[in-house]
Amino acid sequence: MNQYDAIVIGAGHNGLTNGAYLAKAGLKVAVLERNPYIGGATVSRELHKGWWYSNCSYVSSLLRPEITRDLELPRHGLQVVSFGGGATFTRNGDYFGNYSDHDRHYREMARHSKRDANAYDRYAADTSLQTKLIRPYLMRTPPDPTSMKPRDLRDLLEFARSFMDLGEEKLLDTIKFWTASVGDYLNEYFETDVIKAHMAGSGIIGTALGVYSPGTAYVLLHHYMGDVDGNVGAWGFARGGMGAIADALSKAFQSYGGEIFCDANVDEIIVKNGRAAGVALKDGTEYKAPIVVSNLDPKRTFLDITNPSDLPKDVLKKARNFKIRGSSGKLNIALDGLPVFHGLDPRNRLMAGDLHFSDSLERQERAYDDWKAGTWSKDPYLDMMIPSLTDPTMAPPGKHMMSVFVQYAPPKVEGREWTDEDKDGFEKSVIDQISNYSPNFRDLILHCETRTPREIEAEVGLTEGNIFMGELTFDQLLFNRPFPGYAQYRSPIKGMYMCSSGTHPGGGVMAAPGANAAREILADLKKPNTVPGGYADD
Amino acid sequence: MSDVSRDTMLLTTPFHSRVEAMCDLNDWGNWMGYTTPNAYFDVELEYFAVRSTTGVFDLSPMNKYRVTGPDAQRYLDRLITRDVSKIGVDRVGYAIWCDDNGQVMDDGTIFRLGEQDYRICSYQRADDWLAWNTLGFDVTIENESEAVAGLAVQGPTSCTVLTLLGCTDLNQLKPFGIAHYSFEGRPLMVSRTGFTGDLGYEVWVPPESAEALWDQLFELGRDYLIKPIGSHALELARIEAGFLQANVDFMPAEEVVRVGRTRSPFELGLGWLVDFKKPLFNGRSALLKEQEKGSRYRFAMLDVEGNKPAEHSFILRGNKQVGTVTSAAWCPTAKANIAYAQIEMPHGAVGDELVAEIYYQRELHWTRLLAPCKVIDTPIFKSPKRWQTPAPPH
């Protein structure tokens, strides 16, 4: 009874991916989920009858195509549908639109600045160069720079060579890029406020940093390195909402014999003689297995569900110091019809993309100032989508579902816990901002789910509501993720592993951490590898 | 600048005024002498309309021939390789036809509109060939190509949109079924057929109805996210769904100059459309002989490793070239890299592992890639919606 070869804690997309690859290798695997439903932050929930909300993660680009194909997720019902468009509305009643056609995009930029429009090609080439450096490492375990193992030395050499091959000038650019702020990076190319603001959003989403904070240029890259069908930087919706990804992964996992248990709230990882031996649930049930994989973030993994006496002090210290700061909230809104925005015909295809209202870097930085002061942004940065313009299954015909990602929202309000009044104030600042640009918006609202970091942490289990399970800054990337010395998915306890977005290559519904961790586990077990390598990027 | 004496090289379809108004990219191609859009606004998004909502494709340039008369069924049975009697009234059958050497001339659909009343919808023009075949049969052949305008209305919400248009109980129509309605006082025919592998219909009207049909479809379909699609998006969908295309995956037999460039039904994986129980049909004896002696080639669907489409690739086994690719694409819904190939026998059986020699260019630099590939037995995209009756709402 309850005896498995491996137990994975948390049925989010990484836990399910990890479980699928272990089960595919012939292991008897159980995935345990605290909630009564699977998916973690990759869920679709019908919170208003007839409306489905991707109420946590809301778009898909980074999900590795190698995994989608290898686990036959389309056969298990997953359909990722590209969307196009996007716009940033300006205070003077105009907007800046994002077109997929290169020349149409040029013309739109030229409407604001011919020089910016022309500089975009240089910007795109330089940014693509950076994505090409990082993309080959997504489906690989980061090398350990302190290790003398042949594999680590070989990978490090290869890593170093890809940088050295750039030549001096581009290498210097690269070093600068990895440490620069997204604001400074964009200032080197563009002169127009709204153009810069439109692009800078990707540099701050999910991070407790402002557009002028060093390290945010990389965050921009993180949002740019995904692809939909080889179109690097393209984004899509999972048809039926993000839960479709978890559903397809769970079916793949179960097709290999894996078992999923919901309402299974893990209290502690059982360690015997320095080895993982299973888990104990809060209700007292025990599941035994020599392999235990945590899909919780590094803080929860080491500070909540592991007995501190089983861990070396350095890991406890690193876990405690791990940066996982809440910076965002979310509104999911059921709408009675399509909102009309100043300056843009609602039938315009730009409406189907990501919509924003912060028309300058300055406004984005001011929004961050509020976070630093311990409160939510009074003039927030919104990443707003209407997925029902692309996916007819999200809302009844003619009605719409709106997903509003909101930045910034602090983990605590002026040092204290969030209250319901705070939540109302947060919601109001968002709805007020949208209403400033859309006269009919407020009247269309049928239902609104508002999630501050408090709700995201409590319901999803993301510490402080941080969507990436840890800041994506260089001190926490690659061989530093989650901590130096522990970036190869192994914990200090034998048989215990990590597979969450808190490990390389980070969050964004990539499923790469889950797959990479499975590869390491299978290697330790001396089992044949079932995890695919990455496609060559050229 | 209207010039009545101008000899226009390309014609326009009855939907052209509407098509043109929606063709934001102004990206036009020539399909059988008609100006047709390659893409309206974004190939990728048009493709996804077919897979997620409704995509509308103007297929008016297809060739349409009406076959009537007491011998219509006997005539068609002589013409095509499958048993025509099995196609009931108000049903459609996919069919191929061969020359006397058993080599495929074209594929198409046979619509049975009455007891002895059929319409052939074909990719190639077939007036001459159809006429020669009438010898000895009491049939009348009428070229209806310009008399019938058609739209493919394909995708998960297509049934809902057409129902709103007045196609009552359309969700009860089975795959390959035909239903008749009227639209603004003129006949409108719907068949549950298509080239995309998903739930979808083809709508046939007289040209006078075309513009109004388009307008109403797009008005009623707005809440169901209807979008027009061009030929590039359709090409992606058809490769993913496993459909062959004349002049791409095979050469129409009568147009072939060079010896050995034609293909038989068996060599195109279409042997299931050949019914030897019929005593006589064009190509029968040659096909019987081929069945006895074996075919020269085999049609193979290949699942190619990696993400580079194997366009125009040679297919290798070891160092030996055993075939060539005719169609290839990265399939966006199936997330697979698919190629159709003609493989020399005895290679290319299901499960065979071969290698695609792929050439691709990045920034003027060519790379040669040897990608392992495997012969698969069914199309990579299989939508249960295609076969469900009643048709699902989305």
Residue of A nearest to B306 (CA): A535
Q: How far apart are CA B75 and CA A352, in angstroms?
A: 52
Confidence of residue B9 (pLDDT cuts 50, 70, 90): confident
Q: Which residues contact A416 (CB under 8 A, 6 or more apart)?
A: none
pLDDT tens digits, one per residue of A17-73: 999 999 999 999 999 999 999 999 999 999 999 999 999 999 988 889 899 999 999
Q: How far apart are CA B17 and CA A537, in angstroms?
A: 43
* CATH number, domain B63-143: 3.30.70.1400
Contact B153, B203 (CB under 8 A): yes
DSSP A82: E
Confidence of residue B394 (pLDDT cuts 50, 70, 90): confident
Q: What are phi and psi of B249, to 5 degrees?
A: -95, -15
CB–CB contact A81 B224 (8 Å): no
Distance (Å) from the alpha carbon of B77 to chain A's nearest alpha carbon: 38
Q: Pairing mode, if any, of strands B200-205 and A236-238?
A: unpaired
Confidence of residue B4 (pLDDT cuts 50, 70, 90): low
pLDDT for the residue numbered B1:
44
| Most A-contacting residue of B41, B51, B52, B229 (CB-CB within 10 A), to test interface | B52
Contact A141, A516 (CB under 8 A): yes
Residue of B nearest to A393 (CA): B394
pLDDT for the residue numbered A100:
86
SS3 A29: strand
DSSP B24: T
pTM for the full predicted model: 0.95
CB–CB contact B367 A538 (8 Å): yes
Q: Which residues pair with A60 in a beta bridge?
A: A236
CB–CB contact A81 B52 (8 Å): yes
The answer, for A239 touching chain B at a CB cutoff of 8 Å, is yes
Q: How far apart are CA A367 and CA A370, in angstroms?
A: 6
The answer, for A231 touching chain B at a CB cutoff of 8 Å, is yes
pLDDT for the residue numbered B322:
98
Distance (Å) from the alpha carbon of A194 to chain B's nearest alpha carbon: 25
pLDDT tens digits, one per residue of B55-86: 999 999 999 999 999 999 999 999 999 999 99
Q: How far apart are CA B359 and CA B314, in angstroms?
A: 10
* CATH number, domain B16-62+147-241: 3.30.1360.120
Residue-level pLDDT, tens digit, chain A, 538 residues: 699 999 999 999 999 999 999 999 999 999 999 999 999 999 999 999 999 999 999 998 888 989 999 999 999 999 999 998 999 999 999 999 999 889 999 999 999 999 999 999 999 999 999 988 888 888 999 999 999 999 999 999 998 898 899 999 999 999 999 889 999 999 999 999 999 999 999 999 999 999 999 999 999 988 888 766 666 667 889 999 999 999 999 999 999 999 999 999 999 999 999 999 999 999 999 999 999 999 999 999 999 999 999 999 999 999 999 999 999 999 999 999 999 998 899 889 999 999 999 999 999 999 999 999 999 999 999 999 999 999 999 999 999 999 999 999 999 999 999 999 999 999 999 999 999 999 999 999 999 999 999 999 999 999 999 999 999 988 999 999 999 999 999 999 999 999 999 999 999 999 999 999 999 999 999 999 999 998 877 7
What ipTM score was computed for the predicted complex, to two decimals?
A: 0.93
The answer, for A361 touching chain B at a CB cutoff of 8 Å, is no
pLDDT tens digits, one per residue of A147-161: 999 999 999 999 889
Which segment of A82-86, A226-230, B88-92, B310-314 scores lowest on mean pLDDT? A226-230
| Most A-contacting residue of B335, B370, B376, B381 (CB-CB within 10 A), to test interface | B335
Rg (CA), chain B: 21
How many CA atoms, within 13 angstroms, populate the side-chain half-sphere of residue B1? 1
CB–CB contact A392 B332 (8 Å): no
Q: How far apart are CA A199 and CA A216, in angstroms?
A: 12
CB–CB contact B225 A230 (8 Å): no
Q: Which residues contact B110 (CB under 8 A, 6 or more apart)?
A: B76, B80, B84, B87, B92, B93, B95, B118, B119, B120, B121
Instruction: Show the tokens assigned to B215.
Output: 């307008």
The domain limits of chain B are: 16-62+147-241, 63-143, 296-379
N-terminal to C-terminal alpha carbon distance within chain A = 50
Distance (Å) from the alpha carbon of A134 to chain B's nearest alpha carbon: 18
Write the single-letter amino acid at B109.
T
Fold of B296-379: Elongation Factor Tu (Ef-tu); domain 3 (2.40.30)
CB–CB contact B42 A84 (8 Å): yes
Share of chain B above pLDDT 90, in %: 96
Contact A456, A465 (CB under 8 A): yes
From B52, B223, B224, residue closest to A79, measured CB to CB: B52
CB–CB contact B367 A397 (8 Å): no
Which residues of A, range 15-74, sit inside 8 Å of B by Cβ? 65, 68-69, 73-74
pLDDT for the residue numbered A536:
77
